[in-house]
Amino acid sequence: MMAVLSGVAFFRLNISNKNVIFSKSRLLCSNGIHKLRPIASYVHVRSLSDTSFKVKPLDPIDHHEEKFKKILIANRGEIACRIIKTCRQMGIKTVAIHSDVDTTALHVKMADEAYCLGPAPTAKSYLNVEAILDVIQKSSTQAVHPGYGFLSENMDFAQKLEEMGIVFIGPNWKSIAAMGDKIESKRIAAKARVNTIPGFDGVVKTPEECVKIAQEIGYPVMIKASAGGGGKGMRIAWNDKEAMEGFRFSSQEAQSSFGDDRLLVEKFVDNPRHIEMQVLCDKFGNGIYLNERECSIQRRNQKVIEEAPSTFVDENLRKAMGEQAVSLAKAVGYDSAGTVEFLVDSKKNFYFLEMNTRLQVEHPITECITGVDLVQQMIRVAKGSCDVGNLGEGSEISIFYDPMICKLITFDETRNAAISTMIKALDAYVIRGVSHNIPLLRDIMTEKNFVEGNLSTKYLYDVYPEGFNGKQLSESEMEHLAALCGCIFVRHETRSRHFLNQPQPPLESTLPADWNLITEINERNIELLVTEKNHVFEVTVNGKKIIIPGDIHLSAPVLETTIGEEPYTCQLIKHDGAGNLRIRFAGTTFKVRVLTEIAAEYERLMPKKPEKDVSKVVAAPMPGLLKSISCKVGDTVVEGQEVCVIEAMKMQNSLIIGSTGKVKTVHCKEGEAVEEEQVIIELE
C-alpha cells in the first residue's frame, strides 16, 4: 500500500475525472527501518468492488510483434513488480536484482531469475553498476528497464549498456545527459523557445556566492541541485541567513543523493501550481503529449497528492504546455516516455522546471485516463517499434531506500466521484507496523480548498501552517466516535463474561441491562448510556439517542457500520480489558479510554505521574544516520540552536535544542546509525 507518509515521509495520492478519471495516493511510511507485521500485508478495499465505472483499457498486446526475450529490472519494490507484470503479459522473461535485505522481497519472488548484488547501502547494491553489469552477462539479458530512481537517469550506466550491446529501456544517454543537468537543461529549453524561470545561469560554488547571487536576483530564491530530483537538494531562501543554510543543506543532500553537489539559484515563483506533461517519443522522430498531471500538493518539494486532469488547466493552456513539452523532447532527440514539469502562476503563465527522463511514480493516472500502458510502450519503443505494485508480510522498510511502500489509485466519471471513492478506499486501507500518512491524505480529500480545486505548491503550508495533527472532529463526529467506542467496550465485556460464565447459564443474569460509561477522547470526557436489545445498541449521549448495529466483530481489521444514519468505515487497531482503544475514525487514529462510572471514580482518586521534561534532551525523531554534531560536552547551547543533523532516506533533518543550557553528555558519534527516540544529546 502506499504509505506515501521526509524527516517523516508522506503518502502520495492522485485523483482525476472524466478523461483523466482517477485518484492516486502515494502512501509513505515514517523514515526508518520497520518490520511489517502479518496484518500489514492485508489491503482491504472492499468498497471498490461495488463500483461500476470503467477505466480505459490498456494497450492490447501484439504477440506477433518482435520482442525481447529477457529483461533485467534494475530496481526494487512497487515499480519492479509493475514492470514484471507487463513483461509477463508480453511473454518476456524477467531478471530481478536485490540487496541482502531484499532477499525475500516481492519483486524477487515474482521474477523468473534473481541475483543478489551485495549489502543494503545503495552504493553497494542498486547503484553498484559493475555488479549489475556482471549480472547482465551472467543472465544473458537483452535489455534493462531501470524503473524510477536509482540508475534510471544515470547517463554513464545507459552509455555502458549501449557499448555492451544491451538495450536501455529509456531515453538514449545523450538525452539523459542534456536534461539531467538542470543548468544545461534550462539553456536548452530557452533555445527551444520553452518558457524558463529567471535566475543565475551557472554553477554556484560557495555559500557566500549563493548569498550574493540571491541578492542580485531578489528574494525569495530557490536553491537546488543541478543533478537533483525528487525534492532532494532543494531549499527556499527568503533572506541571507536562509541562503547560507540552504546552500549547506542542499549541497550535502545533493552529494549524498546524486554524488554531485553542484547547485544553481533561480527566482522562486511564489504560490504556483506544479503541473507536468507526460510525453512519449519513439526512435523515428515522433512525439506526442498525453495531457497533464497536477502535483501541486507537496511536502518538502515531494509530491503528496496528484490528479489528472487538473481543475486549473483549460484546452488552450494544455495545448501550449503540451506543444512546448514535445518541442523540448525533440530538441534533445528524446526517444522514450518522459515528463516535462512546469510551474504555473495564477494568470496561467507557465515556466519550465525540469524534465524527468524516466517513468514517474504517478504514471498510472495517465494510463487510466488515456488507456496507454506506458511501461509497455517504453519496451516497444526500446525494441524499435513505432509509436502510436504490493507489500508482503514481513517486508522491511529501511532507511536506505525511498519511503513509499505503495500507491492507491482511484478513478471515476467525475472528480467528486473519484474523491468519494478515494475516501472509501483510504478508510478501508489497513497498514500495521509502520507510521504512515493516510490520515493526512484522508483529511485533504474533504478539505474545502482541495475539493474546490484551489491548489498551489504552498497548499500544505497554507492549510496546515502548524503541521497536520489529525482530523479535528465536529461535535457530531465526536459524539459518534464516543458512542461507537462505548459499544465496542460493551461488546468486549459481554464476550469476556460469556467465556467466564459458560458453565453458569443464563449469561443475561450476569450482565447489566444498562451500561453507564465515560469515554476519554482528546482530554475530554463524554458520558454515555449504552443499552443492547435484539443485537442493536442504543446509545444516549448528550441527551441524544444514537442507534448502532450490534454486529461488531472485534477481530476484524475493518469495521463497517452505521452510527445513527451515517455510514462509517473504521479500523479497530487495539483494544484491551482496561478499556483502552486505538481506533481509526474518519481517517485519523484516536486513543480512547472507556471507563465504567466506578472505574472513572477510582481513576480520579489516583495520583498523577509527573510529566517528563524533554526540553533538555535531543532525541532522534526517526531512524537514520547521524551526519553531524555541532556541539560537544561543556558547550553552552541556546534554545532553537541546531545541534545535529540526521539523514534518513537521503533527506537531511536539522535537530534543534529545546532549551538553553550546558551540554552534559553526547551519546552518539557522527556516522553512527540511530534509532527512533534514541537520545543523542543531553543537557545538565
At 230, the pLDDT band (50, 70, 90 cuts) reads: low
Q: Is residue 22 predicted with pLDDT exceeding 60?
A: no
The DSSP 8-state label assigned to residue 358 in this structure reads S
Q: For residue range 545-571, list pLDDT tens digits in order.
A: 999 999 888 888 899 999 998 999 999
Q: Is the pLDDT of residue 2 over 60?
A: no
The least confident of 138-142, 247-251, 384-388 is 384-388
Cα separation, 335 vs 357, in Å, equals 10
Give residue 393's pLDDT band: very low, low, confident or very high (50, 70, 90).
low
| 483 or 21, higher pLDDT | 483
Could you tell me which residue, 93 or 429, shows the higher pLDDT?
93
Q: Is residue 374 over pLDDT 60?
A: yes
**Rounded Cα–Cα distance for residues 259 and 668 (Å):** 26
Query: Which residue from 16, 5, 12 is spatially nearest to 419, judged by alpha carbons?
Result: 16
* Average pLDDT of span 679-684: 92
**Cα(341)–Cα(360) distance, rounded to whole angstroms?**
11
**Lowest-confidence segment of 53-62, 114-123, 154-163 by average pLDDT:** 53-62
> Per-residue pLDDT tens for 234-267?
899 999 999 999 999 888 888 877 778 888 898 8
What pLDDT does 536 receive?
Answer: 93
The yes-or-no verdict on residue 17 having pLDDT over 80 is: no
How large a percentage of the chain has pLDDT more than 90? 55
DSSP state, residue 519: E
pLDDT of amino acid 554: 86
pLDDT surpasses 70 at 10: no
Mean pLDDT of 285-297: 93
Q: Which residue has the higher pLDDT, 30 or 377?
A: 377
| DSSP string for 159-217 | HHHHHHTPEESSS-HHHHHHHHSHHHHHHHHHHTT--B--B--S-B-SHHHHHHHHHHH
Mean pLDDT of 651-665: 89
**Once rounded to an integer, what is the mean pLDDT over residues 523-527?**
91
pLDDT at 497: 60
- Terminal Cα-to-Cα distance of the chain (whole angstroms): 44
pLDDT greater at residue 39 or residue 520? 520
Query: How many CA atoms lie less than 13 Å away from 168 in the CB half-sphere?
Result: 29
Whether the predicted pLDDT of 201 surpasses 90: no
pLDDT at 185 over 50: yes
**Cα–Cα distance for residue pair 40/34, rounded to 1 Å:** 11
List, by residue number, the catalytic residues: 354
CA distances from 519 to 473, 524, 573, 668 (A): 15, 8, 17, 42
pLDDT band at 33 (very low <50, low <70, confident <90, very high): very low
What pLDDT, on a 0 to 100 scale, did the predictor assign at position 63?
64
Tell me the average pLDDT of the chain: 84
3-state secondary structure of 376: helix
pLDDT band of 23, cuts 50, 70, 90: very low
Q: Can you give the pLDDT at residue 592?
A: 94
Residue 513 has phi, psi (to 5 degrees) of: -75, -35
pLDDT for the residue 644: 93
Which residues share a beta bridge with 355?
340
39 pLDDT higher than 60: no
